[in-house]
Structure formats: C-alpha cells, structure tokens
Structure 1
Amino acid sequence: MLYVAFLPIVDQELNAKIRPAHLEYINDLYRQDKVFMAGPFTDKQGGLVIYKAESLEEARKLAEADPVVVEGARTLELREWSPLELPLT
C-alpha cells in the first residue's frame, strides 16, 4: 500500500538545520524500496513523502522516525492513498 505523509514546516530555522538528515533518511528508505516518491512544495512551506508499507502502522513508524518530525521542525499528517489506474476507460 501507499501512504502519503504531508510535512508542513513549523520552524524554518530548525528545518534548514535538520534538512540534510531528512534527505539522507528519505534517500536511504528509497534504496530500501520503502519510499515511492518525495519532494518539496514549490511554496517552500513543506513537502510530502509517499511511503510503501504493508500497513498504516509501518508507514507511521517510518514517517515518525524522519528527523524533521523527530526534531519538531515539521508536523506530520499521514494518509493511506489509493492512486487511480490511468487512463480510465
């Protein structure tokens, strides 16, 4: 299943400090096939990560272990996602 983590920034200064660890964390999970896609919003107010996980609990553990969440630079909203199979007939 896929799970979308919305990560709005709540502390810009702390986020800038923690961002390298965040990117390393996401990249490591991508290499483990636990992240489908990730990236910042163009308004620079946060970003999102799409996790691949067997359950919401697994996805929550992955998302809550992200350094930007652990350190309080960003908040977390996690939702299960069911993408459409496109094109529709």
Structure 2
Amino acid sequence: MKYVALLTIIDEEGNKRVRPAHLDYLKRLKEEGKVYAAGPFTDGKGGMVIYEAASYEEAKALAQEDPVIKEGVRTLELREWNPLFE
C-alpha cells in the first residue's frame, strides 16, 4: 500500500539545518523501495513523501524516523493513498 506524508514546516531555521539529513534519509528509503515519490511543495511551506509500506503502522514508523519529524521542525499528517493510475 501507499501512504502519503504531508510534512509542513513549522521551524524555518531548524528545517534548513535538518534538511540534508532528511534528504539522505529519503534517498536511503528510496533505494530500499520504501519511498515511491517525494518532493517539496512549490510554495516553500513543506513537502510530501509517498511511502510504500505493508501497513499504516510501518508507514508511520518510517515517517516518524525522518529527521525533520524527529527534530520537530515539521508536522506530520499521514494518510493511506489509493492511486488511480501508476
């Protein structure tokens, strides 16, 4: 299943500091087949990650290990997603 994580920035300076670790984390998960897609919103207020996971609990665990969430610089909204097309 796919799960969408909406990551809204709540600490601009902290986000700048943690962003390199965030990108490294997503790259590693992409290589492991756990990230379907990811990227920033064009308004600069955050971004989205689409996880590939066997359950909501697994997706939540992956999202909560993201450095931007662990450091409290972004909020997390996680929802199961059913794409119409792939």
The bucket for the TM-score relative to the shorter chain is over 0.9
Over aligned residues, Cα RMSD in angstroms?
A: 0.9
Partner of 1:38 in structure 2? 38
- Give, in whole Å, the separation in 2 of the partners of 1:76 and 1:40: 14
User: What TM-score, normalized to structure 2?
Assistant: 0.98
Task: Report the structure number with the largest CA radius of gyration.
Answer: 1
In the alignment, which residue of structure 2 is the partner of 1:13? 13
Could you list the structure 1 runs, at least 4 aligned residues long, displaced by more than 3 angstroms after superposition: none
| Structure showing the higher strand proportion among its residues | 2
Q: Which amino acid aligns with 1:69?
A: I
| Alpha-carbon offset, residue 85 of structure 1 | 3.4
Q: CA deviation at 1:56?
A: 0.1
1:68-83 to structure 2, matched below 5 A, reads 68-83=68-83
CA distance in 1 between partners of 2:63 and 2:85 (Å): 25
| Structure 2: distance between partners of 1:8 and 1:85 | 26
Tell me the residue number matched to 2:23: 23
Give the alignment's TM-score, normalised by structure 1: 0.95
Instruction: Name the aligned partner's letter for residue 50 of structure 1.
Output: I
Alignment coverage as a number of residue pairs: 86
Instruction: Confirm whether residue 62 of structure 1 aligns to residue 57 of structure 2.
Output: no
